[in-house]
């Protein structure tokens, strides 16, 4: 059950994090839409049950995602055009998380999970930009070209397979770290 939701979260993590600014954009948008969705869904959940609750979450998710998409078009058009697919998918995230009851957990737990996921998005985005383009923070502001670290980067890491490789490496680092620090083998959580 939980695995479907985690796998679905992999999509923006791998697909929409070419640069730090892209990762920041999609993280903020995910956070905003999921937050408003959770707030709006809580009164509805008491009134509706079963299929009707799911239908309500579907309508709400579609509305919020379309509104967020229109606002992104209005103020961040160039970013919106590269991440359009992943913005549309946010609606699916909302519905799947709602279906698996992720919003019914205590606020502190889900907030911590969101913060961890956001931090992971930013780390992957930042590392992909450094390795793939040799710069950091490009496109964050119009007047700043970003921090140039290397003149050229590894093209692979600007593509989705590169993100997958990077995520694998990060998981390996984490595994090695936790093994060294504790004797207890930790079950690995994707």
Would you tell me how many other CB atoms lie within 10 Å of the CB of residue 138? 18
d(CA 94, CA 117): 15
- Examine residue 67 and tell whether it contacts another protein (CB under 8 A): yes
Q: Which stretch binds another protein (CB under 8 A): 30-38, 50-58, 134-142, 150-158?
A: 50-58
d(CA 151, CA 176): 32
Candidates 6, 66, 141, 145: give the one binding another protein (CB under 8 A).
Answer: 66
Site for another protein in 116-175 (CB under 8 A): none
Candidates 10, 28, 39, 71: give the one binding another protein (CB under 8 A).
Answer: 71
Candidates 5, 8, 63, 123: give the one binding another protein (CB under 8 A).
Answer: 63
Site for another protein in 8-47 (CB under 8 A): 44, 47
User: Running DSSP on this structure, what letter comes out for residue 188?
Assistant: P
Strands (E), the chain: 135-136, 147-148
Closest Cα partner for 90 from 136, 37, 42? 37
- Examine residue 52 and tell whether it contacts another protein (CB under 8 A): yes
CB of 53 to another protein, least distance (A): 9
CB of 50 to another protein, least distance (A): 10
- For residue 97, report the phi and psi dihedrals to the nearest 5 degrees: -65, -40
**Both tokens of residue 159?**
């593509």
d(CA 142, CA 90): 27
CB of 60 to another protein, least distance (A): 7
Q: Which residues bind another protein (CB under 8 A)?
A: 44, 47-49, 52, 55-56, 59-60, 62-63, 66-67, 70-71, 73-74, 77-78, 81
């Amino acid at each position: 059950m939980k695995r479907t939701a985690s796998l679905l979260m992999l999509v923006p993590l791998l697909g929409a994090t070419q640069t730090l600014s892209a990762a920041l954009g999609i993280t903020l948008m995910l956070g905003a839409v999921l937050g408003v969705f959770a707030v709006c869904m809580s009164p509805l959940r008491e009134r509706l049950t079963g299929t009707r609750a799911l239908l309500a979450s579907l309508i709400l998710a579609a509305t919020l995602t379309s509104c967020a998409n229109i606002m992104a078009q209005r103020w961040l058009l160039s970013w919106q055009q590269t991440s359009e697919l992943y913005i549309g998918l946010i609606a699916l995230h909302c519905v799947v998380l709602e279906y698996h009851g992720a919003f019914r957990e205590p606020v502190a737990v889900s907030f911590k999970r969101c913060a961890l996921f956001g931090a992971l998005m930013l780390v992957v985005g930042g590392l992909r930009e450094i390795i793939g383009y040799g710069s950091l923070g490009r496109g964050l502001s119009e007047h700043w070209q970003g921090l140039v670290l290397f003149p050229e980067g590894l093209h692979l890491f600007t593509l989705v397979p590169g993100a997958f490789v990077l995520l694998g490496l990060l998981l390996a680092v984490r595994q090695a770290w936790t093994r060294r620090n504790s004797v207890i083998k930790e079950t690995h959580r994707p």
